[in-house]
C-alpha cells in the first residue's frame, strides 16, 4: 500500500498554501500567511476564525522541528500561547503540539525556561490526601495539590487534531510529585488528565538539535526536581553510616589501643621547702612507631592550684618536648570548679629511652600537695572523633538547608504559598 | 491486503463477480474490495445489502492485514467500522485472535484501546439516564463514565462479526477505571452492548504490516 500522503490546503482568506503535517488527524490549521484558523477537516476549508491579534509570537522550538524524546521521534505541528489573567496577576506559557503518526500526540510546555513533556492519560487518578489537602494517586504516585487557574488560548500557530479557537478557556489544576506533574483540564464538563515530566532547556535543545543555547530558567518551577531532592535522604543516610563507622573506629581504638603505661609514680610537693623544686624521673622506654604520649596528673588539691612545667627528654638524642599544665580545684556549697586532674597529649614522639623533668609551682603559703604522674604510650585521641563527627554533620545540614530554600521557592508559586499574596513569578508576562 | 494467519472459505461477489476471501471463518459481513458492496453471509451464499460510500480520509497507521500481539496473544486486523463525531473520527478495527475469538482495537486520534464484547452483571443504564461521573462495578472494578459521544457511522470495511451498515446517529459511552481499564457502551443496539478492555500504548501492540507515512520512515 502506498504511503499516506501529506496534504496541503489553500487558505480561503489569503489564498496562501497551508502544508499539513498531521495528515487526516488535522481538524484545524492556522494559515502561516494571514493567521486565519481554518477548518481542515472538509474539502471546503471554512474559515473558523480570523486573526485579530496585534502581535506575533515566535515559538522557541520552530514548527516542523523534529526531536527524539524517550526514544520516539516527534514533530512540532502546533503551537499555542495560553494565558492566565486575574486582577493582580497575568502570566502565560507556550504549549507545543508534538506528533508521531504511530505513537500519537504529546505536548511540550514552556514557561520561563522550564519545560515539560506531557502525555494525555486515559486511566483515572484516585482521590487521596497529601500535605493535609486533597491530592491524587496515579500509577502509584501521590500528587500534591499545587495550583489551579483558568487558562485561555491567546495565540495559535500550526495545526491541531481538534477545532482550535483563540479565546477558548479551560479550568486547569496542577498536582505535583517532582519531577512529575498531574494536570486536569476541564472544558465543557469533560475532564482530561495529563502527566508531565520536567525537562530542562538543554534537554529540549538536545532532543530537537537546536542551535544556540536555550533561554535561561527563572525561578523554581512547580515540578522542577530539587537538585538537593534525591540527595537529602541519602545525605543523612550517608551521615548515619559514617557515624556508625566512626563509632566502630572509636570502639576499636578503645579496645586495641588503651595506651600502655610506660611510667608512673607518686610525688609530693610543698612550696615551703626552699630548695629547687625541679627533679627528673628515672628513664622509661617508649616503644613502637612515632605516636603520641599522654601524661596524666592526679592531685589532691583542695581549693588551690598548682602549676607543672614538664620536659619529656630523650635520653639518647636529647630531643626535648616542653609543656606545662595547671591543675586547679575549688569547691564550696554552691558547687565546684576545675578538676584535681589534668592531662596532656604530646603527639608524634619517636621511640627511645626517655625521662621527665618536672618542676611544680604553687602560690606562696599553699599547703602540701600530693600527686601522681602517669605516662602512657599510644593513647587514642578522642578529640579527633568529636571533631570528625561535627565535620560529618556539615554536608547533610547544608543539603537540608538548601533543599528547604528550594522547596520554599517552589511553594511560593503555588496556591498554597505560606505567606504573601504576590503569587506568580512576575517574569511570567514577558511573552 | 497481504497474507494473514487466519484462513477461511472464499466466494464470489454477487454484484461484480470478484473473488471474496474470508480471513475469518465466523465473519457475518464483509465488503467487496473491488465494487465496495456490503455483503452479508447467508446459509448458502453472499447477499449484497448495500454499498460503502467513499471512505473518509483517515490517518490510522492500522490497515486490514495489520498483525499484532497483546499479552502473547497474536491477532490480525480483518475489518473496521468508521465513526465520526464533532471532534473528528475514529476507527473500530475488528481483530481476530489466533484462537479464533474476536475483539476490537479502537484508534481514536492514535489513542488505542483494546476491548471485547462483555456481558454485564445487571442491566446497563438506559441511554437517557447515563451521565458522566456515574460508576459501575464490573469484574470487581469500578468503571466511571468519562465521556458521552454522539457519533455517526461513516462506513465499514472488511469482515465484521455482525451485520452493520446504514446506521445513523449513535451514542457511545466511554468508561475508565483507575487501573487503565476501558469500557464502552454501544447504544446502537437494544439492549445496548457492553465492551470491556484496556487502554494500550502503541508499543504494547507489537504491530506489523502498518501503513507508511510520507516523510516518516
Q: Is the pLDDT of residue A424 over 50?
A: no
All cell numbers assigned to A187: 472544558
Q: Pick the residue from chain B with its C-alpha nearest to A7.
A: B214
- pLDDT tens digits along A258-316: 677 889 999 988 887 777 788 999 999 998 888 888 999 999 999 999 999 999 999 99
pLDDT of amino acid B9: 65
Interface of B with A (CB under 8 A): 56-59, 61, 63, 87-88, 109-111, 113, 132, 144, 146-147, 176-182, 199, 201-203, 210-216
pLDDT of amino acid A382: 72
- pLDDT tens digits along A27-69: 999 999 999 999 998 888 999 999 888 788 999 999 999 999 9
pLDDT of amino acid A152: 95
Q: What is the mean pLDDT of residues B109-113?
A: 95
Q: Reduced to 3 states, what is the DSSP secondary structure of residue B202? A: helix
DSSP-assigned letter for residue B121: S
pLDDT of amino acid B4: 39
Alpha-carbon distance of A101 to B202, in angstroms, equals 11
For chain B, the domains span 10-51
Confidence of residue B74 (pLDDT cuts 50, 70, 90): very high
Cα torsion angle, A370, A375, A379, A384, sign: positive
Alpha-carbon distance of B195 to A109, in angstroms, equals 35
Q: Is the pLDDT of residue B6 over 50?
A: no
Q: What is the mean pLDDT of residues B172-201?
A: 93
CB atoms within 10 A of CB A243: 14
Q: Is the pLDDT of residue A426 over 60?
A: no
A103 and B110 within 8 Å at the Cβ level: the answer is yes
pLDDT of amino acid A397: 87
All cell numbers assigned to B53: 460510500
The pTM (predicted TM-score) of the whole model is: 0.76
B178 and A125 within 8 Å at the Cβ level: the answer is yes
Tell me if B5 sits within 8 A of B67, measured CB to CB: yes
Q: Is the pLDDT of residue A359 over 80?
A: yes
- pLDDT tens digits along A391-421: 888 888 888 888 888 888 999 888 888 765 4
Q: Is A186 on the interface with B (CB under 8 A)?
A: no
Q: Note the ipTM here.
A: 0.91
Alpha-carbon distance of B3 to B5, in angstroms, equals 7
Q: Is the pLDDT of residue A380 over 70?
A: no
- Residue with grid cell 466511554, as numbered in its chain: B174
Cα–Cα separations (whole angstroms), residue B28 to A6, B1, B190: 35, 19, 19
A3 and B56 within 8 Å at the Cβ level: the answer is no
3-state SS string over chain A?
Answer: CCCECCCEEECCCCCCEEECCCHHHCCEEECCCCCCEEECCCCCCCEEECCCCCCCCCCCCCCCCEEEECCEEEEEEEEEEEEEEECCEEEEEEEEEEEECCCEEEEEEEECCEEEEEEEECCCCEEEEECCEEEEEECCEEEEEEEEEEEEEEEEEEEECCCCCCCCEEEEEEEEECCEEEEEEEECCEEEEEEEEEECHHHHHHHCCCCCCCCCCCCCCCCCCCCCHHHHHHHHHHHHHHHHHHHHHHHHHHHHCCCEEEEEEEEEECCCCCCCCCEECCCEEECCCCEEEEEEEEECCCCEEEEEEEEEEECCCCCEEEEEEEEEEEEECCEEEECCEEEEEEEEECCEEEEEEEEEECCCCCCCEEEEEEEEECCCCHHHHHHHHHHHCHHHHHHHHHHHHHHHHHHHCCCCCCCCCCCCCHHHHCC
The dihedrals phi and psi of A416, each to the nearest 5 degrees, come to: -115, 30
Instruction: Select from B110, B213, B215 the Cβ nearest to the Cβ of A105.
Output: B110
- pLDDT tens digits along A97-139: 999 999 999 999 999 999 999 999 999 999 999 878 889 999 9
Alpha-carbon distance of A76 to A74, in angstroms, equals 7
Whether CATH 2.60.120.380 fits A258-379:
yes
Amino acid at each position: 500500500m502506498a504511503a499516506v500522503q501529506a496534504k496541503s490546503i489553500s487558505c480561503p482568506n489569503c489564498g496562501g498554501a497551508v502544508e499539513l503535517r498531521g495528515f487526516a488527524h488535522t481538524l484545524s490549521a492556522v494559515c502561516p500567511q494571514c493567521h486565519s484558523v481554518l477548518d481542515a477537516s472538509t474539502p471546503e476549508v471554512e474559515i473558523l476564525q480570523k486573526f485579530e491579534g496585534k502581535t506575533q509570537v515566535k515559538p522557541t522550538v520552530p514548527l516542523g522541528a523534529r526531536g527524539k524524546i524517550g526514544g520516539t521521534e516527534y514533530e512540532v505541528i502546533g503551537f499555542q500561547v495560553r494565558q492566565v489573567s486575574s486582577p493582580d496577576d497575568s502570566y502565560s506559557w507556550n504549549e507545543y503540539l508534538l506528533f508521531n503518526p504511530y505513537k500519537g500526540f504529546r505536548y511540550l510546555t514552556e514557561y520561563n525556561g522550564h519545560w515539560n513533556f506531557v502525555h494525555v492519560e486515559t486511566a483515572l487518578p484516585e482521590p487521596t490526601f497529601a500535605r493535609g489537602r486533597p491530592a491524587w494517586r496515579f500509577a502509584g504516585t501521590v500528587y500534591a495539590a499545587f495550583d489551579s487557574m483558568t487558562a485561555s488560548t491567546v495565540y495559535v500557530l500550526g495545526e491541531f487534531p481538534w477545532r482550535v479557537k483563540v479565546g477558548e478557556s479551560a479550568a486547569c489544576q496542577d498536582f505535583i510529585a517532582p519531577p512529575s506533574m498531574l494536570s486536569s483540564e476541564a472544558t465543557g464538563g469533560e475532564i482530561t488528565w495529563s502527566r508531565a515530566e520536567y525537562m530542562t532547556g538543554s534537554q529540549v535543545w538536545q532532543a530537537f538539535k537546536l542551535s544556540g543555547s536555550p533561554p535561561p530558567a527563572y525561578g523554581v518551577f512547580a515540578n522542577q526536581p530539587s537538585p538537593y531532592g534525591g540527595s537529602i535522604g541519602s545525605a543523612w543516610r550517608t551521615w548515619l553510616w559514617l557515624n556508625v563507622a566512626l563509632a566502630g573506629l572509636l570502639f576499636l581504638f578503645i579496645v586495641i589501643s588503651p595506651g600502655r603505661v610506660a611510667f608512673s609514680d607518686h610525688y609530693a610537693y610543698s612550696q615551703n621547702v626552699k630548695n629547687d623544686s625541679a627533679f627528673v624521673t628515672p628513664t622509661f622506654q617508649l616503644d613502637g612507631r612515632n605516636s603520641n604520649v599522654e601524661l596524666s596528673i592526679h592531685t589532691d588539691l583542695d581549693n588551690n592550684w598548682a602549676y607543672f612545667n614538664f620536659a619529656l627528654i630523650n635520653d639518647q638524642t636529647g630531643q626535648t618536648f616542653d609543656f606545662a599544665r595547671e591543675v586547679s580545684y575549688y569547691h564550696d556549697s554552691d558547687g565546684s570548679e576545675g578538676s584535681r586532674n589534668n592531662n596532656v597529649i604530646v603527639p608524634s614522639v619517636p621511640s627511645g629511652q626517655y625521662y621527665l623533668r618536672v618542676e611544680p609551682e604553687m602560690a606562696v603559703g599553699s599547703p602540701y600537695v600530693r600527686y601522681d604522674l602517669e605516662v602512657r604510650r599510644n593513647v587514642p585521641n578522642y578529640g579527633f572523633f568529636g571533631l570528625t563527627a561535627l565535620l560529618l554533620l556539615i554536608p547533610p545540614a547544608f543539603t537540608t538547608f538548601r533543599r528547604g530554600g528550594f522547596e520554599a521557592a517552589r511553594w511560593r508559586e503555588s496556591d498554597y504559598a505560606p505567606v504573601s499574596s504576590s503569587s506568580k513569578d512576575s517574569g511570567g508576562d514577558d511573552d | 491486503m497481504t497474507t494473514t494467519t487466519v484462513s477461511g472459505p472464499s466466494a464470489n461477489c454477487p454484484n461484480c463477480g470478484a473473488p471474496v476471501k474470508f480471513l475469518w471463518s465466523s465473519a457475518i459481513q464483509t465488503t467487496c474490495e473491488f465494487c465496495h458492496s456490503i455483503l452479508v453471509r447467508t446459509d448458502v451464499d453472499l447477499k449484497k445489502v448495500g454499498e460503502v460510500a467513499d471512505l473518509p480520509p483517515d490517518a490510522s497507521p492500522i490497515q486490514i492485514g495489520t498483525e499484532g500481539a497483546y499479552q502473547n496473544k497474536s491477532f490480525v486486523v480483518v475489518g473496521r467500522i468508521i465513526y465520526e463525531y464533532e471532534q473528528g473520527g475514529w476507527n473500530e478495527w475488528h481483530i481476530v485472535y489466533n484462537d479464533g475469538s474476536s475483539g476490537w482495537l479502537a484508534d481514536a486520534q492514535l489513542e488505542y484501546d483494546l476491548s471485547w464484547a462483555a456481558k454485564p452483571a445487571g442491566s446497563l443504564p438506559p441511554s437517557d439516564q447515563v451521565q458522566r461521573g456515574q460508576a459501575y462495578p464490573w469484574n470487581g472494578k469500578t468503571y466511571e463514565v468519562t465521556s458521552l459521544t454522539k457519533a455517526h457511522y461513516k462506513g465499514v470495511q472488511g469482515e465484521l462479526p455482525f451485520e452493520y451498515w446504514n446506521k445513523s446517529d449513535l451514542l457511545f459511552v466511554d468508561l475508565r477505571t483507575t487501573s487503565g481499564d476501558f469500557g464502552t457502551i454501544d447504544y446502537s443496539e437494544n439492549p445496548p452492548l457492553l465492551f470491556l478492555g484496556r487502554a494500550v500504548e502503541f508499543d504494547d501492540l507489537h504491530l506489523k504490516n502498518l501503513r507508511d507515512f510520507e516523510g516518516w520512515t
